[in-house]
């Protein structure tokens, strides 16, 4: 809720590109925090920051679409965004479940459970690095 209230003020100061980059970086950091089995208070703090930065991402993306997509196409673009954004979630859950099954051993089930978070952290860190050099929003 804090992200939805404070988000527009933060984005007014930082700009949309920084808002998107912050969302990607925070997702990477929260995933890495989970993968490292950090203390519970640190995990809670990371997840709180991830939720706030996720709201910055949502505000930026929705505002950008509403400004730049012609009104007759906005509904179609929104539905395509949702399809691409949430449609593959089931495939990701399946892939990470397979990764857990592959990585766990009878003696060590924890490593298998933590591996998907490490993979998610690494992939989103690479995406953040790519976006930092390529992403420019007006």
Going from N- to C-terminal start, the domains of the chain cover: 2-87+117-134
What is the CA 28 to chain-centroid distance, rounded? 7
Residues across the chain:
138
Of the candidates 96, 17, 23, the one whose C-alpha atom is nearest the C-alpha of residue 58 is 23
For residue 138, the model assigns a pLDDT of 61
Q: Average pLDDT per run of 10 along the chain, which is 138 residues long?
A: 82 87 92 93 94 89 89 92 87 92 89 92 94 81
Give residues with Cβ within 8 angstroms of 51, minimum separation 6.
3
For residue 136, the model assigns a pLDDT of 79
For residue 32, the model assigns a pLDDT of 95
For residue 89, the model assigns a pLDDT of 86
CA atoms within 13 A on the CB side of 128: 19
For residue 127, the model assigns a pLDDT of 92
pTM for the predicted model, two decimal places: 0.81
Q: Do the Cβ atoms of 34 and 43 come closer than 8 Å?
A: yes
Give residues with Cβ within 8 angstroms of 111, minimum separation 6.
103, 104, 105
């Amino acid at each position: 809720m804090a992200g939805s209230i404070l988000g527009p003020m933060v984005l007014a100061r930082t700009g949309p590109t920084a808002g998107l980059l912050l969302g990607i970086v925070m997702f990477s950091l929260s995933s890495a925090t989970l993968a490292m089995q950090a203390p519970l208070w640190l995990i809670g703090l990371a997840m709180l920051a991830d939720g706030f930065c996720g709201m910055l991402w949502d505000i930026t993306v929705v505002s950008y679409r509403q400004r730049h997509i012609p009104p007759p196409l906005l509904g179609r673009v929104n539905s395509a965004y949702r399809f691409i954004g949430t449609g593959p979630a089931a495939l990701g859950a399946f892939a990470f479940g397979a990764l857990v099954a592959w990585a766990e051993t009878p003696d060590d089930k924890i490593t298998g459970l933590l591996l998907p978070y490490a993979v998610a952290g690494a992939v989103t860190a690479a995406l953040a690095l790519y976006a930092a050099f390529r992403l420019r929003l007006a």
